[in-house]
Structure 1
């Protein structure tokens, strides 16, 4: 019976268990260094914190996908991943102690020492466990035997590809050609063991777990042979399309209706990543709405005194996949700003009019020293967008949503900006903000964000945004 490769964190439950042991060992050692107690489990305080550590470690491993591609990581990459994993666990533990007001009961020195010892122990354990697993794989233990069925024109390429990229999952026992009899020859060290006529008998006689069929597009599939293999209990792998033929960075096979399809896309978020991003948006949106309410008390009178009218400005913007929504801001311009925009288009600093930015915009309330310029310099005008984030129209980090007239000018490659939720801030804002005048550069940075997206990148951009705003590096 075919055993499907494990997915997700269960795939590396061995690493998870070893990591948990390293954490507990590090905590015991740190407690001994600080308190001089060799067996601290007698202490109720220690047992409680040890249990909290265990829960946090499992939580971070599961949601953070800490051991994804662990067997393919080099030593330096493993070291950086270990530091990130441990740092997150220690930070969450510190936050827990602060939030529950139990910080006085636990030594901060013990917490820091635990983190340092944990990094060392976990890193060494990962390296040696990977070495053991790879050695075990090279010796052939636990590997499945695979027979390759292909054509004479493709045999070298297919064999070399499988040798390079099977990650020690299979032991390739031989090759069978469907359109020639080269029995006895070797291709890249792998023997051609039979031809089409003898392959069924070979599979029946020899120890073959699985067969991989890779044929040219113009060659019919050997349906009868495939049925025979399955009848014998042998697993059949049939090539659909070679990974890399489509441009998408992420490619995986799934079911679509009654079809088996290769799905390709620019990036893909797991449900855990999507959950965390939305949770961060909700938390940030709630905090931002509270701050918006406080700012309203000070900003609203200033706006109304200098330019009587609505305090908030709303405008239809284009969101993810073309969805239209109303974006909200504190009004920083006079009431006729949109009408005057056409008159000022010749001063636009952005090429092709794909965005609108001009120096010393006369539509801003109060000019250079007015309230409009002040709230724009410090991005205070953007705060009402936290309501958009809370509603789900926007995210804290993403691409900036275009206006309807800007969107109508988009070329095909510009549409990539709309493949994610728009954000209050983003990569191009922290990379130059209003100083960027080439829209293609904006698209390039947005595409880089979408392609390389991960939760850590969002956190990095948020921190950079705070720094840029405080430096008054140009309006958002």
Structure 2
């Protein structure tokens, strides 16, 4: 029987509980400093806030994945993560106080001192807990005995890797070399106990809980060895021969009944996508409300300046080539698409992969320039976001004719759902005239995507729009 490793949420429950205790300890000490030694939970207000603190801390830990990769982080990275977690928790506590209108009754000194202590306690406790986990030594009978099956050229590296990530879980029973006979010798202090001929007899007569096969693909592991290990009830771990051409992001999963090695430019968790989609829905609802208000003023203005529909729709190419209809407030005259062909010679973007030009004569004078300068023409796309065609942050969707000109590496920028704004829009918007630079920025966004990056881009977008920089 083999106990599967817990998911990261359960796996790091020790850090979560420790962080929760640090928050409460910081709160109690801050209360004592302000009011003297006493019972901080006697007062209803402070008791309620303390309970809300626990709930907020758990929510932040879950959605922010605060302890993902915690054992691999160095001291500086841990300090940064601790500061982010503690600051987020305290800011949300402030939001709670504001919404519940209890901020004026709660001591600001207690909140500030709690915040400072929380950072200090949390950081120190994380470092101590990590040191304990890395240095702990189970009693010999509590460890899982692992036998490594590999080749001589890989043995040293495999032993070092397992030791680095062991944290006292495994007792390395020995090494089996499939390509040579070095029985009796040691590698990194671990004895070579068998070869390909006598591996089964060794497992049969010795303490072995698990066998880790780390053999290059050019060497075939006899099927009988695998069957005999299964017959004996030994747990088998098989290292997959990953393909370098697939890139760094590779995971093992089950697809349509097959166990496969999957690769993508960016692999995300269901939790991350749930949060991103939630942000899109909330942003889409709020955006649609503002769009309705803006439409009351823009629709008559557009119709007066240029007779015809106030809204403009166009087929664009979305995620991985999926076509969809995008919506905008019309900022150009009705014959804009026909006149575009005549103006291609004045295109500012190299190779004609996108169309941008100074003083575009197709734009409706007055109202058209205003709504493009303020990006109000983009507001109807909040409906696209709500429908799921687009996201708040992503890569701008190309037109069909632009899509048809794409080379292979250009398609990478559509590996994610298109967005209302994105990295290249806040990095220059219309000032960028090299399409390869656009592709580079979009690719960087996709490969480095995280929820924090989305928030940063949204904030920068608001600043860029208010300053009116880069828009034409």
TM-score calculated relative to the size of structure 1:
0.93
Q: CA deviation at 1:265?
A: 1.4
**Cα distance per residue 1:225-262 (max 9 Å; x no partner):** 222222323211122213x6243332221222343222
CA distance in 2, matches of 1:163, 1:210: 15
**Cα distance per residue 1:301-320 (max 9 Å; x no partner):** 22222212211111111111
**Contact 2:135–2:168 (CA under 8 A) maintained in structure 1:** no
Q: Which residue of 1 aligns with 2:213?
A: 213
CA distance in 1, matches of 2:312, 2:108: 48
Q: CA deviation at 1:140?
A: 7.4
Q: CA deviation at 1:81?
A: 0.4
Q: Which residue of 2 aligns with 1:398?
A: 394
CA distance in 2, matches of 1:56, 1:323: 39
Structure 1 residues 167, 418: closer, same or farther in 2, change over 3 A?
Answer: farther
1:327 is paired with a residue whose SS is strand
1:372 aligns to 2:379 (yes or no): no
1:42 is paired with a residue whose SS is coil
Q: Which residue of 1 aligns with 2:340?
A: 341
1:313 aligns to 2:309 (yes or no): no
1:41 is paired with a residue whose SS is coil
**Contact 2:135–2:167 (CA under 8 A) maintained in structure 1:** no
Q: CA deviation at 1:161?
A: 5.0
CA distance in 1, matches of 2:465, 2:246: 37
**Contact 2:390–2:420 (CA under 8 A) maintained in structure 1:** yes
1:273 aligns to 2:272 (yes or no): yes
CA distance in 2, matches of 1:303, 1:258: 55
**Cα distance per residue 1:198-218 (max 9 Å; x no partner):** 222222333222111133434
1:41-190 alignment runs, 5 A limit: 41-136=41-136, 143-152=143-152, 154-156=154-156, 158-159=158-159, 161-163=161-163, 169-190=169-190
CA distance in 2, matches of 1:166, 1:434: 52
Q: Which deviates more from structure 2 when the two are superposed, residues 131-140 or residues 81-90? A: 131-140
Q: CA deviation at 1:48?
A: 1.1
**Contact 1:248–1:267 (CA under 8 A) maintained in structure 2:** no
Q: CA deviation at 1:268?
A: 1.9
CA distance in 1, matches of 2:320, 2:149: 43
**Contact 2:136–2:168 (CA under 8 A) maintained in structure 1:** no
Q: Which residue of 1 aligns with 2:418?
A: 422
**Cα distance per residue 1:300-344 (max 9 Å; x no partner):** 222222212211111111111222211111111111111100000
TM-score calculated relative to the size of structure 2:
0.94
What is the total number of aligned residue pairs between the two structures? 472
**Contact 1:393–1:421 (CA under 8 A) maintained in structure 2:** yes
Give the gaps of 5 or more residues in structure 2.
none
CA distance in 2, matches of 1:112, 1:179: 63
CA distance in 2, matches of 1:342, 1:405: 12
CA distance in 2, matches of 1:92, 1:170: 41
Q: Which residue of 1 aligns with 2:461?
A: 465
Q: Which deviates more from structure 2 when the two are superposed, residues 37-46 or residues 376-385? A: 37-46
Q: Which deviates more from structure 2 when the two are superposed, residues 84-93 or residues 73-82? A: 84-93
Give the RMSD, CA atoms, in angstroms.
2.1
**Contact 1:152–1:177 (CA under 8 A) maintained in structure 2:** yes
1:262 is paired with a residue whose SS is strand
CA distance in 2, matches of 1:133, 1:166: 10
Q: Which residue of 2 aligns with 1:289?
A: 288
CA distance in 1, matches of 2:364, 2:169: 66
Structure 1 residues 334, 208: closer, same or farther in 2, change over 3 A?
Answer: same
CA distance in 2, matches of 1:354, 1:215: 47
CA distance in 1, matches of 2:23, 2:353: 52
